[in-house]
Amino acid sequence: MNDLAEPPLLALTLGDIAGIGPEIVVKACLAGQARACVVYGCPEAVARAAQQLAGPCGHPVVAEVDAPAAWRELPAGVIPVVRPAGVDSASLRDIVPGRVDARAGAAAHRSIVAAAQAALRGEVAGLVTAPIHKEALHAAGVDFPGHTEILQHLCGGVDVRMMLANQELRTVLVTIHLSVRRALQAVTEQAVLQTLRITDAAGRAWGQQRPRIAVAGLNPHAGEGGLFGDEELRIIAPAIEQARAEGIDASGPYPPDTVFMRARGGAFDVVVAMLHDHALIPVKYLGLEQGVNITLGLPFVRTSPDHGTAFDIAGRGLADPASLCSAIAMARRLAGASA
């Protein structure tokens, strides 16, 4: 194969092996969507999922490799898996699907760390992360609430933001995994301004000359001139004004109950929202199977499917890999645009 024709090489982390991660990874490979991807996680867990999903022609072969680039030496259809340090197959053999297990949480964390380190070394162009379970992560002694915070820490504390995207809508969050009470305190002028800077930089890196950014208000009707709250006047509008002075095409604040419809209709390229659920509900309502979680601000591309570990169906062969396939396609597109 001509090197110029090769897609960007991606690391695909297995997620919590008590969930649907191994299943959707294998299904993505069977569907031909995981070309130029190397899996980080327990090879035996991938092999078990492959055996469970075997069809009339058998099941895909799983090959343990030492480095991501080794995928080029493997025959088509073979799934390459890098075993992170500390991921011991013997200790993970009796993991029960659908149950919180600290061992699965620890293995998931080690896989994320190993894949991120590979990205920082330039061995892969980006990460696609299968779902982890926050309770299992906590049980393993990992003091981070999710992927975003883990990757932020591994990259030296860079300022990051979460984007959720599908073919119709893109939203970016000012605050992420906080209680609503704490999130309200975290909505500051500097936080909003920095979100606008990160969003603009990401859009430009992906080929948009000047991304059109709509900013959603925090309060009903965007505060109605201060009648329903003054955060729009005190915090959000000044941040927008400063961003515009820096050459960023930001506008608002707009009422959060209508701005997403306007963006979906083509008026804006992306919407910045203050709170987690303000930003995520509109995208998820349009369909979990197409939604992709993207972390902005990292030195490499990172995407993930728009769903969790689905413990209720884990190990039963029922999981839909569509969102993971969308995350792989998005990561490949973004990594190519950023190259």
Question: Is residue 64 scored above 60 in pLDDT?
Answer: yes
- pTM score of the predicted model: 0.88
Strand, coil or helix: what is 149? helix
Helix/strand number for the chain, H first, E second: 13, 12
Beta bridge partners of 272: 172, 215
Look-up: residue for tokens 């301004």?
Answer: 193
**Beta strand residue intervals within 230-316, DSSP E:** 250-254, 270-273, 292-296, 301-305
**Is the bond leading into 145 cis (omega within 30 degrees of zero)?**
no
The predicted-structure confidence for 135-148, as pLDDT tens digits, reads as follows 999 999 999 988 98
The predicted-structure confidence for 92-114, as pLDDT tens digits, reads as follows 889 999 999 999 999 999 999 99
When pLDDT is averaged across residues 150-163 and rounded to a whole number, the result is 94
**Beta strand residue intervals within 166-224, DSSP E:** 170-173, 213-216
When pLDDT is averaged across residues 173-184 and rounded to a whole number, the result is 92
pLDDT at position 2 is: 38
Domains of the chain: 1-159+297-339 (3.40.718.10), 167-286 (3.40.718.10)
Contacts of 29 (CB under 8 A, 6+ apart): 37, 60, 77, 79
Q: CB of 249 within 8 A of CB of 212?
A: yes
Contacts of 28 (CB under 8 A, 6+ apart): 12, 34, 321, 324, 325, 328
Under DSSP, the state recorded for 31 is: T
pLDDT at position 158 is: 94
**Is the bond leading into 253 cis (omega within 30 degrees of zero)?**
yes
- 312: confidence class by pLDDT, cuts 50, 70, 90: very high
**Mean pLDDT score across all residues of the chain:** 92
Question: Is residue 186 scored above 90 in pLDDT?
Answer: yes
pLDDT at position 1 is: 36
The two beta strands, 292-296 and 270-273, are unpaired
pLDDT at position 13 is: 97
The predicted-structure confidence for 5-60, as pLDDT tens digits, reads as follows 578 999 999 999 999 999 999 999 888 887 889 999 999 999 999 998 876 566 77
pLDDT at position 3 is: 45
